[in-house]
């Protein structure tokens, strides 16, 4: 599965789609920084930048779901919290002494792949529900 944004990830809500696309720009920057062996300060800065943007995105989705009394809100909140936890774990890691290849795998699997699956399943269901109302 491709680990970058493409049109198959569009859900039909322009705000949410725009934010998802922006999150993939952050992922790309993080992956590139990791592959080019940038230092701990650069990686931590990018992780913070990603974490802050994702927080904003998750709170906007959660507010939208609450507004529409979406029945899947709790499941979304749980998954959002679990993603925040993954970003925090990476932020707390000793990045200076981490193997760059290993770190790339973690970023690809734990963050990017997770996000793609979340968009395709939970976010798609949420947008479909809200659009049908």
Q: Which stretch binds Fe ion (CB under 5 A): 28-36, 40-48, 59-67, 96-104?
A: 59-67
Question: Min. distance of Cβ 53 from Fe ion in angstroms?
Answer: 11
Tokens of 87: 């970003």
Residue sitting closest to Fe ion (CB): 123
13, 67, 84 from 50: Cα distances, Å: 21, 26, 10
Mutual angle of helices 124-132 and 40-67, in 10-degree steps:
30
Residue closer to Fe ion (CB basis): 93 or 120: 120
Q: What angle do CA 12, 4, 111 make, to 5 degrees?
A: 95
* Residue 44 or 120 with smaller CB distance to Fe ion: 120
Which two tokens mark 120? Answer: 């395709």
CB of 61 to Fe ion, least distance (A): 5
DSSP state of 97: G
Other CB atoms within a 10 A radius of the CB of residue 15 amount to 11
Site for Fe ion in 97-126 (CB under 5 A): 123
The stretch near Fe ion (CB under 5 A) out of 53-61, 66-74, 81-89, 101-109 is: 53-61
Question: Which of 54-62, 81-89, 91-99, 102-110 is the region at the interface with Fe ion (rule: CB under 5 A)?
Answer: 54-62
Residues that bind Fe ion (CB under 5 A): 61, 123
């Amino acid at each position: 599965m491709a680990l970058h944004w493409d049109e198959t990830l569009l859900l039909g809500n322009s705000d949410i789609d725009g934010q998802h696309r922006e999150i993939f720009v952050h992922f790309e920057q993080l992956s590139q920084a990791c592959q080019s062996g940038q230092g701990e300060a650069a990686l931590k800065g990018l992780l913070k930048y990603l974490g802050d943007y994702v927080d904003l995105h998750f709170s906007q989705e959660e507010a939208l779901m609450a507004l529409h009394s979406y029945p899947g809100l709790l499941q979304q909140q749980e998954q959002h919290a679990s993603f925040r936890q993954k970003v925090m774990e990476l932020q707390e890691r000793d990045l200076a002494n981490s193997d760059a290849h290993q770190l790339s795998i973690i970023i690809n699997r734990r963050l990017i792949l997770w996000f793609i699956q979340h968009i395709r399943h939970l976010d798609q269901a949420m947008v479909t529900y809200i659009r049908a109302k």
